[in-house]
Chain A
Amino acid sequence: MSYFNIDAQAQNTYDAIVIGSGISGGWAAKELTGKGLRTLVLERGRDVRHVTDYPTTNMQPWEFEHRNQLKLDVREANPIVSKCYAFYEGTEQFFVKDAEHPYVQEKPFDWIRGYQVGGKSLLWARQTQRWSDFDFQGPARDGYAVDWPIRYADIAPWYSYVEKFAGITGNKDGLATLPDGEFLPPHEWNCVEKHFQKKIAGRYKDRHVIMGRAAHITQPQPIHFQQGRAQCQHRTICERGCPFGGYFSSNSSTIPWAAKTGKMTLRPHSTVHSIIYDEAKGRATGVRVVDTQTKQMHEFYARIIFLNAAALNSNLVLLNSTSHRFPNGLGNDSGVLGKYVAFHNYRAGISAEYDGDLDSTTDGRRPNSPYIPRFRNVEKQETNFLRGYAAGFSAGRSSRTDQSGVGADLKESLLNPKLGGWYVGSHMMGETIPKETNYVALDPSLKDPYGIPQLKIAIAYDDNDDKMVKDYQEQLTEMFTEAGFKNIRVRDDHRNPGLDIHEMGGARMGKDPKTSILNKWNQVHHCKNVFVTDGACMTSTSTQNPSLTYMALTARAADYAVKGLKKGLV
């Protein structure tokens, strides 16, 4: 590769390179091309074009050979990804199979991945809550991780910026813990959810039940029509890809938008091996890419690089980008790269029944549900564990059929279901504390099919997480009891970390280059033209679903990067 002729080098040179096309990479592509930069977007998987590459999106339930159940051989070959709730007959094509990208589980970790254009943005649960200063100030107040180098005021305008484009449904609730955004009309509540909201408001000053904020277009604006997207049709089969563009994905939104500028070159089947660091220039000059079809290595060059390979893979790329200057990974003078990885604790849940409101029911389907923002340790430390949890909540009316008979009686009963009572349920989303001992590293000997070191993952729960599970169960039991719910059952499924699909950190942002990898602009402290704006950048996790924050951080960093290029700061 070192004897590249100058023409070939020029041909492989862009203004910017974006590594990854998922929820944050798509935003980097949109912002950088929108500001006029010729941008190469590298995606390790295949291309997935909006609508035409959603093979199951319009299949009726009876058109699935196994009615969406996974075949036994698929489950046996994929014990990890088969645990994911969204992996079924209609979505198999969008998930990485276990054997495709092996990794080392030093501790049990279910790594759920989507390698294709759009990444996991096709598959996500679409919940989009803003962080508040209670979240950004958490590490400093409670003495864990390092202080975030930004506060809510730094990111608030960028939340607004991405929300307007993506299309976020929600209600302006006026809560300090969960700032309001640029909302399209909220989804409807059902009677029992309203009842719960009222009961909780009456009993607790600091606990709120609100309608979830989600990336669904409930009332399309001109900006959505310009993207070719329409109103969400409530099919609730989002993870198969949506032909209406009713929910936000890179495929339906940012990637085609970037393509329209004429400035984007999208290169699928391109796994990034490492970032090239030029010792003389003191900056990154490009990336080494393995073409997954030919297995040949190529080099591409650019003035700035956005790393958006998804949290753990971005760590992998940085760790594998070694040079004389950076023997332990790009920008890793501090030695913290790959460490302080955290996630969300989804272990606990609660379910119950309710025998009121029997004269009402629901009609249609809702791709969203109510949400209980964090209420523990908000203003001050008040429990025997650090931080807290948010919770999802929903109610639905059951229908029952007597299936005990056989013959014409059974048929009659199946076709005439009786309306049952209401069921209610909730699940926790707990903040986990980033620790040095929760880390990822390169395995010294094992390689993936492309000759790139395998990632070794050592991430586990701790005592703080166990206490939080117990507190969630106790508090939600109390709240359910207050609402008159019956037959309350709590659970702790002891799922492995990873199955939350909210892994974060490893290349955290911070004020001090001695204890962090990125500065307040998501810029590598020691390599100013490399930006990491996916989950790898997260200093702490708080309780909110993280994607909206990645989008806002990406747009903010891209703005800084392009201005910085002009001023010579990057």
Chain B
Amino acid sequence: MERRNALKTMAGAVGGLISLPAWANGWTAESIPSSQPFISTGQTELLAEMVETIIPATDTPGAKALNVHQFVQKMVADCYDKTAQDRFKNGLESLDGWAQKSFGKPFNQGDVAQRTGLMTQLSKSDDSAQKDFYGLVKGLTIRGYMTSEYVMTNLTHYQFIPGHYYGCVPVSKK
């Protein structure tokens, strides 16, 4: 491991010697809202509650605090075809109705167990409008959460510049 530590140190030193140009500091792209609103403000709030239900705040922030709902709608608006976009919009329009049927209240007024229960129902639904809508939002929620700055920096410790590749590392050392 001595060689590895030496390499690590060296790699760090090399990285440290190279200072990036000043303009590089400007690269902190916040997610910019689409110029045309893709869904209404009310639906955005609903979506925020839905992604928060899928990945809630615990001792670390949940999907809503990490703006994952903004990511989800941006992805659907920019990267998906009309079929998926319609499924997404129709799902958001129907969500309160589905909640009423499931626990007798609008979605946002349900408690955690009720909202989580509805998500599970949607995932198992025979109705593709429900199942596919849920699958789309859940997939993008996971992606947005796992690739958020907070998670990659504080929880999964992404290495932008590893500086090395070690081929055979004992699992116990990881």
Chain A contacts to B: CB under 8 angstroms: 51-52, 58-67, 69-73, 187-191, 193-194, 230-231, 233-235, 243-244, 358-366, 403, 406-408, 410-411, 414-415, 419
B55 at the interface (CB under 8 A from A): yes
The answer on a CB contact under 8 Å between A234 and B27 is no
Q: A231-B11, A233-B161, A360-B170 are in contact. Are A63 and B152 (CB under 8 A)?
A: no
Residues 89-111 of chain B, each 1 if its beta carbon lies under 8 Å from chain A, else 0:
00000000000000000000000
- For B169, the chain A residues whose CB sits under 8 A away are 360-363
- For A360, the chain B residues whose CB sits under 8 A away are 168-171
Assembly CA distance A364 to B156 (angstroms): 14
B65 at the interface (CB under 8 A from A): no
Residues 48-92 of chain B, each 1 if its beta carbon lies under 8 Å from chain A, else 0:
000001111010001000000001001100111100000000000
The answer on a CB contact under 8 Å between B28 and A191 is no
For A403, give the chain B residue with the smallest CB separation: B142
- For B31, the chain A residues whose CB sits under 8 A away are 65
Assembly CA distance A362 to B173 (angstroms): 11
- Show 16 residue pairs from A and B whose CB-CB distance is below 8 angstroms, ordered by the A residue: A61-B147, A61-B152, A69-B75, A72-B78, A72-B79, A187-B165, A235-B160, A364-B159, A364-B164, A407-B53, A407-B54, A407-B56, A410-B54, A414-B146, A415-B155, A415-B156
The answer on a CB contact under 8 Å between B165 and A363 is yes
Assembly CA distance A60 to B31 (angstroms): 13
The answer on a CB contact under 8 Å between A408 and B58 is yes
B37 at the interface (CB under 8 A from A): no
Residues 1-26 of chain B, each 1 if its beta carbon lies under 8 Å from chain A, else 0:
00000000011001101101101100
The answer on a CB contact under 8 Å between A414 and B142 is yes
Identify the stretch in B39-47, B112-120, B125-133 within 8 Å (CB) of chain A at 4 or more residues.
B112-120
Q: A407-B54, A415-B155 are in contact. Are A234 and B164 (CB under 8 A)?
A: yes
The answer on a CB contact under 8 Å between B163 and A234 is yes
- For A235, the chain B residues whose CB sits under 8 A away are 160-162
The answer on a CB contact under 8 Å between B171 and A361 is yes
The answer on a CB contact under 8 Å between A71 and B78 is yes
Q: A403-B142, A406-B138, A407-B112 are in contact. Are A66 and B53 (CB under 8 A)?
A: no
- For B171, the chain A residues whose CB sits under 8 A away are 358-361, 419
Contact of B162 among A231, A234, A403, A414 (CB under 8 A): A234
A-B Cβ contacts below 8 A, count: 150
Q: How far is the CB of B104 from chain A (nearest CB, A)?
A: 20
Assembly CA distance A363 to B167 (angstroms): 7
Assembly CA distance A233 to B11 (angstroms): 7
The answer on a CB contact under 8 Å between A244 and B164 is no
Q: A65-B74, A69-B79 are in contact. Are A359 and B58 (CB under 8 A)?
A: no
The answer on a CB contact under 8 Å between B167 and A191 is yes
For B80, give the chain A residue with the smallest CB separation: A72
Extra contacts, 7 of them, besides A365-B165, A410-B54 (Cβ < 8 A), are A63-B29, A190-B167, A233-B162, A359-B171, A360-B171, A362-B168, A411-B58
Q: Which of A188, A364, A408, A415 has most B Cβ within 10 Å?
A: A364
The answer on a CB contact under 8 Å between B78 and A67 is no
Q: How far is the CB of A393 from chain B (nearest CB, A)?
A: 14
The answer on a CB contact under 8 Å between A406 and B165 is no
Assembly CA distance A193 to B166 (angstroms): 13
The answer on a CB contact under 8 Å between B29 and A408 is no
Q: How far is the CB of B61 from chain A (nearest CB, A)?
A: 10
- For B27, the chain A residues whose CB sits under 8 A away are 58-59, 63
The answer on a CB contact under 8 Å between A233 and B163 is yes
Assembly CA distance A233 to B149 (angstroms): 21
Q: How far is the CB of A19 from chain B (nearest CB, A)?
A: 31
Q: How far is the CB of B59 from chain A (nearest CB, A)?
A: 10
The answer on a CB contact under 8 Å between B152 and A62 is yes
The answer on a CB contact under 8 Å between A231 and B14 is yes
The answer on a CB contact under 8 Å between B56 and A60 is no
The answer on a CB contact under 8 Å between A410 and B148 is no
The answer on a CB contact under 8 Å between A60 and B152 is yes
